[in-house]
Structure 1
Amino acid sequence: MKSMNYINKLQPVLEAAFKSQDPDLFDVVFDINGKKIYAEKLILSINSSTFKSMLSDRWISKNDSIKIQTYKYDDFKEFLTFIYSGEYNITNENIFTMLDMAEFYQIEDLKELCDEYLSTMELNLSNIIQLFEISNKYSMIQTKKPVQNFIFQNFKTIFKSDRFFNAEKSVVTEIIALGQTFAIKYEEMFQAAYEWVEYHVLEKQKELNVEAYKMNDAINVEMQEFLPYIQFNQMEVSFFTKYVVKRGFIFTFDELSDILETVKSNVKVKITNEYGQSIYGLLPKENNAVNVIKSLKCSGALGYWLTNCRMPSTPSPLKKRIGAKCYLFYFGDGDIGIYTNPRDDDYLLAEMFSESDIKFTTQNCKIEIV
């Protein structure tokens, strides 16, 4: 049998003992810039594998203090207070320190509370890169989702910011890689990667102060890490020829020639609602859907067009991405339609974009190849 009354009394007693900081009650002492904090080896060891390892290597006497040089006194005491009481006082000023201590000393409950706190923090251009770094470094599940959504929704603005240009390459790579999951335009992904690389290569040139510094070669090397995330065949030909081709030195001649041929083989599909608002997508010329769309003579209702054709038997090479405005796709019976969230068994034809919000109307939706 257990006495719950006794158990419920025990926790407040431990908490009160820690707050008293009576040296006679403890067998471990921490020294932070000459100020001491007393604690109990047993309590620390059963709550933290890091403390267990740290305190098991040798006997710690009361006169043999453990110096803490990484953290400030108030922050470390707040951290130990959580271990003894479960209470925490997380603020915008100490959150990153508390998180770092929770990670280093393996206090998962505190780490989860830090994650919860960060997930509700107001996001802006000043803190988004830092929070993205933190969410990756500490595997913050709750924080990661709103941070990723903010980057997706504000990508074009973020990649023009000073904080983006000053971010580490590993962080920029992960931000660019978001385009595989979120519907960031590949044109914007390439431009963001290139401008970040160009900025850092120029800074390197200034640092080395070498006139003969081979800028293009340096940019070429740095860009290779970003290129696998970018689907050039999903770029509009106008952007590719005006922006990418001018920076063609990052490809071999054959690579650039093959990509250009693929880009030029695309045609643009345009859907216009009854208010004259339009969305656009890209289709390969050889895709049978191009001929099907050209043959359609009537407007669609609810973005749905009867085609009397068959859906391809092979899987679509196009994959759904989070936040896409909508997709043009084949229904199971071969008819063509647009929908914001097609099913997994629908055959995706094109991811559709628009420069502004568009209202999907119930009738008179015109589809055409332009």
Structure 2
Amino acid sequence: MASKKFLERVQRKFNDDFKSQNPELFDVVFDIGGKKLYAHKYRLSTISSTFESMLSDRWTSKDDVIPIKDYSFDDFKDFITFLYTGEYKLNNENIFTILDMAEFYQIQELKELCDKYLSQMEYSLNNFFQVTEAASKYSLTEVQQFIVQNFSIFVKSDDFLNADKSFIQKIVTFDQIKPEELFQAIYEWAEVQIVKKQKESIDETFNMNDAMKTELTEFLPHIKFKKMRPSFLHGYVVKRGFLFTYNDLSDILLKQTNVRTVKVTNKHGQTIYGNLTNDDDAVGAIESLKNHESRGGFRCSYWETKCKVPSAPIQLKKRDGVKWYLIYRLTPYVKLFAVITAECIYNSGYFDYLLAEMNSETDFVCTDKCKIEIE
């Protein structure tokens, strides 16, 4: 039998002791900007591997005062309070400092709270890059997914369409955004800028196409045209061919001749896309599955196949920020194609070939009865 009441009483005692900051009750003292903060060595060392190393006998003696130079007294006290109470009041002013402490001191639970908080923030030009850089630096999965899923909404905002060029220079380097969305976003941004310039111009020969090309030339080398879906490339990019030289456009299209788009639709009508190298065996096998429904669900939907190992594996590597992949899985008992979450790839006992990164324009979940087809 266990006494929840006893555990709660002990926890309250720890909390009260910490709030009292009575030096006689503690065996660790921190100095932050001339102010002292007391804590228990055992508690901190048990919770944090960083504290365990910092407070080991190799580095400190009982009477040592440990200086904290990178954080303010209030922020560090709030952080240590979390280690005693499990509670923290996050806000837009302290979130990045707390996230940095959670990472440095290896407090995964606090890091997850920060991840969740940032994924629910309302993004603006002022915080967009701060959030995206934090997502990359600290590997925040919820934030990364939220940014990718909501990018198309953000770039339709007046703030984005009227942003300074310096902002666009940064955003074209953000490689977690699908190239289709990125190109369309900066093209629509450029249209707004050119309309403004046209209204201000006294040049009667003002040419919109020439002005657009001038506005976008420096951004085009950052766009990964070869990773675009062929349908978007031909339906959107080619129609704006005035942006490119003949040789550049020819090179882009040539790189797409060996690429096909694979589309998977779940039973809720949600769709996910990927670019598949035109491997005859893989493409033919997937086309044969057009009228076959998948099995599985949640993290993986799969179709059994008799297709042999793809002839051109595997130049594709897993990347941060990519949640879904199309794979060919070879097991001792069965061969299959699968749409699968990144964390489920390369499980022990399987041999997985990554065929395509899969991206969704809306939320997507694996279900049974998914349909797969080649466009």
Q: TM-score range by the shorter chain?
A: 0.5 to 0.7
Per-residue deviation, 1:254: 1.7
Q: What is the match of residue 170 of structure 2?
A: 174
- The CA distance in 2 between the partners of 1:278 and 1:10, in whole Å, is 54
- Residue 369 (str. 1) matches residue 369 (str. 2): no
Assess if the C-alpha contact under 8 Å between 2:262 and 2:276 holds in 1: yes
- Residue 349 (str. 1) matches residue 355 (str. 2): yes
- The CA distance in 2 between the partners of 1:298 and 1:15, in whole Å, is 68
Q: What is the match of residue 241 of structure 1?
A: 234
- The CA distance in 1 between the partners of 2:33 and 2:365, in whole Å, is 63
Per-residue deviation, 1:358: 5.1
Q: What is the match of residue 338 of structure 1?
A: 339
- The CA distance in 1 between the partners of 2:372 and 2:212, in whole Å, is 41
301-310 or 244-253: which moved more?
301-310
- Residue 129 (str. 1) matches residue 115 (str. 2): no
More contact order relative to length (CA 8 Å, sep ≥ 6) = 2
| 2:325 aligned residue (327, 345, 352) | 327
Q: What is the match of residue 186 of structure 1?
A: 179
- Residue 158 (str. 1) matches residue 160 (str. 2): no
253-262 or 150-159: which moved more?
253-262
Assess if the C-alpha contact under 8 Å between 1:11 and 1:85 holds in 2: no
Give % identity: 35
Secondary structure of the 2:125 match is helix
Assess if the C-alpha contact under 8 Å between 1:327 and 1:351 holds in 2: yes
Matched AA of 2:247: D
1:151–1:170 CA distance, 2 compared to 1 (3 A): farther
Secondary structure of the 1:331 match is strand
Per-residue deviation, 1:329: 1.2
Per-residue deviation, 1:249: 1.8
| 1:196 aligned residue (184, 189, 196) | 189
Secondary structure of the 1:200 match is helix
Q: What is the match of residue 60 of structure 2?
A: none
1:218–1:242 CA distance, 2 compared to 1 (3 A): same
- The CA distance in 2 between the partners of 1:165 and 1:217, in whole Å, is 20
Matches within 5 A, 1:182-331: 184-207=177-200, 209-263=202-256, 265-272=258-265, 279-296=272-289, 299-302=293-296, 303-312=302-311, 314-317=313-316, 319-320=318-319, 322-324=321-323, 326-331=324-329
Assess if the C-alpha contact under 8 Å between 1:233 and 1:259 holds in 2: yes
1:15-74 Cα offsets, whole Å, 9 max, x none, are 69xxxxxxxxxxxxxxxxxxxxxxxxxxxxx9989xxxxxxxxxxxxxxxxxxxxxxxxx
Assess if the C-alpha contact under 8 Å between 2:264 and 2:273 holds in 1: yes
Larger relative strand fraction: 2
1:183-240 Cα offsets, whole Å, 9 max, x none, are x432211100111223234434445544444543443244234334433233334433
Secondary structure of the 2:315 match is coil
Secondary structure of the 1:219 match is helix
Secondary structure of the 2:126 match is helix
Secondary structure of the 1:130 match is coil
TM-score by length of 1: 0.57
Per-residue deviation, 1:159: 0.4
Per-residue deviation, 1:355: 5.3
Per-residue deviation, 1:357: 4.7
Q: What is the match of residue 52 of structure 2?
A: none
Per-residue deviation, 1:327: 2.0
TM-score by length of 2: 0.57
Assess if the C-alpha contact under 8 Å between 1:14 and 1:84 holds in 2: no
Per-residue deviation, 1:118: 8.7
Matched AA of 2:125: I
State the structure with more CA Rg.
1
1:218-271 Cα offsets, whole Å, 9 max, x none, are 432442343344332333344333321222122111221232344465434344
Matched AA of 1:169: K
Secondary structure of the 2:295 match is coil
1:217–1:319 CA distance, 2 compared to 1 (3 A): farther
Q: Tell me how large the CA RMSD over aligned residues is.
A: 5.0
- The CA distance in 1 between the partners of 2:270 and 2:76, in whole Å, is 56
Matched AA of 1:192: A
- The CA distance in 1 between the partners of 2:132 and 2:365, in whole Å, is 36
Matched AA of 1:329: I
- The CA distance in 1 between the partners of 2:253 and 2:157, in whole Å, is 30
Assess if the C-alpha contact under 8 Å between 1:135 and 1:143 holds in 2: no
Query: Where do 5+ consecutive residues of structure 2 fail to align?
Result: 1-22, 37-66, 79-88, 105-110, 297-301
Count of residue pairs the alignment pairs up: 290
Per-residue deviation, 1:143: 11
1:145–1:196 CA distance, 2 compared to 1 (3 A): farther
Assess if the C-alpha contact under 8 Å between 1:128 and 1:147 holds in 2: no
- The CA distance in 2 between the partners of 1:356 and 1:85, in whole Å, is 38
